[in-house]
Each structure stands twice: as C-alpha cells, then as structure tokens.
Amino acid sequence: MTTALAAALMVGTTGCTFDAEIATNIPYEPSDGTGTVVGDIAVRNALLITEDGETLNLVVSLVNQSDSDRAVTIQWEGESGRESERVLVDGSGSTVLGGPEQQQIIIEGVEVTPGALYPVFFQYGDEPGSELLVPVLDGALPEYELYVPSS
C-alpha cells in the first residue's frame, strides 16, 4: 500500500511539468535592446542612446537570413515629421549600425527621457513591416559611452 501510494504521488507531482513550455526555447533579447523579424531580416538588440533626450543614436544589428541583398527602410517620427533611412544588408550577411566606426542613424529634434520607449519602424520590399518600441538609454554605463551622439 505504501509503495503504491508513493508511486502514485510521484507520478502525480512530476506530471505537472509534462506539457510546460521549456524556457530555453522562448526567444528573448539577452541585452538591453529589443528585436523582431521582418521577412528575411532579423532586427536584433535595437536601442537608442542619448545624452540630452533630443539627439538619439540608433544602435541595431540587421541580419539577412536570405541569399539576396535587402534594402531595409527604417522610419521614425522626427522633428520634421516622418523620417526614414535605407540601409543595405548583404545576402547572408549582417549590418551593424550606431558604432563609432559604423553607419549611424541619428534622430534629432525629439524630446524623450532615458528609460522611455521610442517607436521605430523596420520594413523592406513588399514585406509587412514591424514597429518596435525601442528602449532609450543614456551613456551612464561604460559599455554605452562610445555610442552617445554628439549634440
């Protein structure tokens, strides 16, 4: 009786996680940025760096998962309305934006506080785009000092 009861209890309690989703299979951004996928383009670790809240530097990696080159349009609401910039991402390659030696997309004339989220839209070709709420950070952390735009 005791053995049967122990076996039933063990099966009953271990079965609770039988259909639970495995946490390591849940995609997430392991850093301060955010991301999405637009067709063949993976937008990874997007964040905005600012010192004064009026000039923002977009730091992001764009990864092309196809063999064809893609021209990605990045849009945001700037001082003169809807603004955009096109960025070429080589087939099976990646483009990193925002570093001191890399192409930079500077958003100017806005008022946003570090810690806020700022909408940035990513799209290419006929693919439906995706608007991300991108975290705004300042250069207080040493790893972001090089990304602070000059005002």
Task: Map residue 12 onto helix, strand or coil.
Answer: helix
pLDDT of residue 15: 58
Q: Which amino acid is at 63?
A: V
The whole model's pTM is what?
0.82
In the chain, which stretches have pLDDT less than 50? none
- Say how far apart CA 137 and CA 122 lie, in whole Å: 20
Q: What are phi and psi of 112, to 5 degrees?
A: -145, 140
Summarised one tens digit per residue, pLDDT across range 107-118 is: 999 999 999 999
H-helix or E-strand containing 11? Answer: helix 2-14
pLDDT of residue 106: 97
DSSP 66-133: SSS-EEEEEEEEETTEEEEEEEEE-TT-EEEESSTTS--EEEES----TT-EEEEEEEETTS--EEEE
Q: By the 8 A CB rule, do 4 and 17 touch?
A: no
pLDDT of residue 79: 83
Q: By the 8 A CB rule, do 121 and 130 touch?
A: yes
Domains in the chain, start-ordered, CATH in brackets? 32-147 (2.60.40.1890)
- Say how far apart CA 20 and CA 30 lie, in whole Å: 22
pLDDT of residue 38: 98
